[in-house]
Structure 1
C-alpha cells in the first residue's frame, strides 16, 4: 500500500466509521476532511473535526506509519503545529508538535474495505510491461469518463507548457518578442537538438539579430557562426559562401563581443537523424523565418487559423540552404514539412498563446488557442498506439496531446487514484455503461 491510497481514502472517507476513535480512545466525528494541500506543509488543510466534546479546525497529516512523522522531522517544523489529527495506516508511535503537545492519531488499516484495497493494489501493482494498469477493466468505464480524463490531461499539459513560457517571459524582462524567439529556437531542435538551440538563443541575443534582419547573409553569419558551423574543415575550406559567412561572422563577433558564448560543432546531434532534420538545415529555415517575419510574437498570437500559421512557418530559405544539408556538403533539401509545422504549432504557438491569454486574463483566448490542436492531425507514436488499441478516441493532435499527458502524468507513474478512470474502477468495478 502506498501513502497516496490513504490520501484517497481520507479525502473520500472510504473507510468504516463505526465507533470511530483515536488511538487514545477519544471519539472522532469528521465534519469536514479538509482539502488537499499542493504546497509544503500538512496534507489536508481546513479540516473540521469533533474530538470528544471539542470541535477543532486545522490540518490533517497522513503517513503509512505514525513513526514517519519523526522520520520527516515534523516534530521540529512549525508548519505542522496546526495538525489536529494524524491519520496513519498503522499506529506505531506517538507524535508531538514543536511545543511537545500530543497529536491525536487515527489508524485506518483496520478500517479499510478489503475489496477497495484489492482493486487499488491490482491497479498500482500491475506488471510494468502491461500497456495500462487498467487495460483489462477499461470496458467497465463509461466512455464519457475516459473522454473527460483525456481532456483534463490535455489542459494540464498545455498549462505546464504555458507555465514554462511565462517563466521564460519573466526571465527575459517581460519581452514577448524575445520570449517567442527563445521558444521558437528551442522548438526548432525537435527534441534531438532542442537543448543546443536553446543555448544558441542565449548566445545570440534577439537585439543583435534585429539589427541585421534585413541582410540575409549577415543573419546567417550570426546564426551559423555562433552555432560553431563555420569552422574550417575539408568540406568548407573551398566553399566560397561559407568562407564569406565566416569572414562576416568574425567582424560581427568582435563588434558585439559574442565570441565567448559561441557553441562548438561537436555539441550538435546528428545520430539517427535524417538529413532533412540536420541542425544546419533547421538553422537555415530559422534564418529564413527571422528574415521574412519581422514580428514573430504578433504574427503567432493574431493568426486566425492553422492554415495561416502554416503559411507563417513556410518562410523562404536562402538558395544555399536549399541545396546543402550541412556547410560544404551539397544536396537538395526539402522545405519544412507538414509534420514539423504541426509540432511547432503544438509546442510553441499554443503554449505561447495560452501564456499570453493568462497574462491578459482572457479565458476565451485560452480555449480558442487549445482548440487549434483539434484542427491538427493526430500524432502516432509508441505511446499513443497503446491507447489507440484500447479504443481511446484519437482523431486529432488534441487527442494525441491528451493521451501523451495521460501516459506521462498518470499511467506510467501509476497515479491511478488521481485519474478519473482509475478512481472509478476502484470505487465501482462492476458498473458498466
Structure 2
C-alpha cells in the first residue's frame, strides 16, 4: 500500500498503532513516555521525546521513515545533528542503520502494528477519485461541532494572514492607517479584474490631496477620472469637458501624473462592472466619506459600519452611460449589495482585525468577527462544492474559513494537518 511519510508522522504523534508489547528489532522492550514534539524544519522529525528502551530511560529525538534505508538515502549518517536520535521508527526495516558515530540505531518497526482500516481510510481520503476536494464524498460523516471548530480556526488563520499584509502596507506608509485603508479599499473596488489599476490610481492620487476636494463631487470625479487616465482625449461631451477643466487646474496645482488608461480592463465584463462605473461609484463614496477608518473604528455595531457603504449612487450622467460619450438605456448604477458586502468582508473586517492586532484591542477584534458573522455566506464555486457535500455554511465568516481551508489544506491535500481530515482518519 502506498502512503507518504507524513502519515507515519501522524500515526506516531497520535499513537495510532498497536502499543502492546513494543520492542526494538533487537528485542529490547520499548515504552513511549512521550513521542516528542513534531519538528518541521531541518533535523530529526520529533524532538524532546522520552522513551524507555530496556532498562534505560532516554531523552532525545526520533526520526521516522517509510523504510530504514531512507536514513542512508537522506544521508543522515553524514549529519552530526542525527547523533542524538534515540529511536528510529520505520514501517519496513530493510537494512541495519549506523549513525555518524558508527553506532547501531535502535529501531521500532510499525509494519504489523497499524490497522489496515486506517491505511485504507488514508488512501480513500488522498487518492480516491473526487471532483472538488479530498473528503467531498465522506465529509458528511463528520459531526457539525468538529467542522465548526475547525472553520473557526480557519477564519482566524485567514484574518491573521491578511492582517499581516495590512500591517506591512501600513509600515511602508509610516503608520498612516487612513492612507493604507484608502489604497486597500481602492484595490478592492477593482474586484480582481481591475484591482491593480485601482491600487495604482490610489497611489497616484494620495488621500491627503483627494480629501481637500471631497466636499465637491465634480472635483472629486475630476481627480479620480483624470488620474485614472480617462480625461486625456479630446471630447465634445459637456460632462467630460467640465471634468477636464477641473482636472487640468488640479493636475497643475498638485503636479499630478495620471496612470495609463490602457491598464483598465473592459473585456468580458458586464457593463455594470465596467471600470468607468466603478470609478464613478468610488468618487461618490469618497465624496460621502474620506476618513473611513476613523468612522469604522468608532462604530458600535455592524449596522453602523454597513451604513458607511450603502446608498452609493453615481452622479446623474451615469444613469444613461456605461462609458464616456456612449449613451445607453437608463438604469441604476448604484453599488450593489453583493459588492458592498465584498468590501466589508475583504477590506473593512480585515482592517478591524489588523488594527486590533496592532493595538491589542479586544473590542475591535470582536467587531471584526461580529461583522463577518452578520454578513451572509458568499457564493462561489469553492463554497458551492462544500455546501453540496453537506457542509452547513450560513455566514461570511463561514465562507471565508472555507476559502482558507480549500486554498491551504484541500488543494494541497494536507488532510493530516486538517482537523476534519483527522476526524475522518480516526473514525472507524
Q: Is the 8 A contact 2:302 2:370 kept in 1?
A: no
CA 183–18 in structure 1, closer or farther in 2 if over 3 Å, else same: same
Partner of 1:271: 267
Q: Which residue is 2:382 aligned to?
A: 383
User: Which residue of structure 1 lines up, in the alignment, with residue 138 of structure 2?
Assistant: 137
Distance apart, 1:185 and its partner CA = 1.1
Contact 1:66 1:95 in 2 (8 A): no
Name the CA shift for 1:91/1:138 in 2 (closer, same or farther; >3 Å). Answer: same
In the aligned structure 2, how far is the partner of 1:258 from the partner of 1:77?
Answer: 60
Question: Which string of whole-angstrom CA distances, capped at 9 and with x for unpartnered residues, describes residues 260-286 of structure 1?
Answer: xx4322222223322111112111222
Higher alpha-carbon deviation: 403-412 or 333-342? 403-412
Aligned twin of 2:188: 187
Shifted more, 414-423 versus 186-195: the winner is: 414-423
- Deviations along 1:332-358, one digit per CA (max 9) or x if unpaired, are 442101111111111111111111112
Q: CA deviation at 1:373?
A: 2.0
The aligned runs of 1:154-303 (5 Å cut-off) are 154-232=155-233, 237-246=235-244, 248-250=246-248, 252-253=250-251, 255-259=253-257, 262-303=258-299
Question: Which residue pairs with 1:34 in the alignment?
Answer: 36
Equivalent residue for 1:324? 321
Unaligned runs of 5+ in 2: none
- The question of whether the paired residues in 2 share the 8 Å contact of 1:292 and 1:316 is answered with no
Matched-pair contact (CA < 8 Å) for 1:11–1:33: yes
Residues 1:195 and 1:66: Cα distance change in structure 2 (over 3 Å): farther
- Structure-2 change in CA distance of 1:427 and 1:186 (3 Å): same
User: Does the 8 Å CA contact 2:139/2:390 hold for their aligned counterparts?
Assistant: no
Question: Closer, same or farther in 2 for the Cα pair 1:74/1:335, shift >3 Å?
Answer: farther
Distance 1:396 1:192 in 2: 25
Task: State how far apart, in whole Å, the 2-side matches of 1:207 and 1:40 are.
Answer: 49
Residues 63-103 of structure 1: per-residue CA shift (max 9 Å, x gap):
54566667777778887777655545556675756x99887
TM-superposed deviation, 1:299: 1.4
Residues 286 and 95 of structure 1, relative CA distance in 2, 3 Å threshold: farther
Matched residues in 1 for 2:235 and 2:109: separation? 76
Q: Give 2:424's aligned residue.
A: 425
The structural deviation recorded for 1:7 is 2.2
Find the counterpart in structure 2 of residue 124 from structure 1: 126
- CA RMSD between the two structures: 3.4
Q: Distance in 2 between matches of 1:120 and 1:169?
A: 44
What residue ranges of structure 1 are gaps of 5+ in the alignment? Answer: none
Q: Give the structure 1 partner of residue 7 of structure 2.
A: 5
Conserved? CA contact 2:34–2:49, under 8 Å: yes
Residues 1:341 and 2:343 are matched in the alignment? no
Structure 1 range deviating more: 188-197 or 82-91: 82-91
Do the aligned partners of 2:356 and 2:365 also contact (CA within 8 Å) in 1?
yes
- Residue 293 of structure 1 deviates from its aligned partner by 0.9
Could you tell which deviates more after superposition, 208-217 or 413-422? 208-217
**Whole-angstrom CA distance in 1 between matches of 2:252 and 2:371:** 43
Q: Secondary structure at the match of 1:394?
A: coil
Q: TM-score, normalised by structure 1?
A: 0.83
- The CA distance in 1 between the partners of 2:187 and 2:338, in whole Å, is 17
Q: 1:67 to 1:170 in 2, by over 3 A?
A: farther
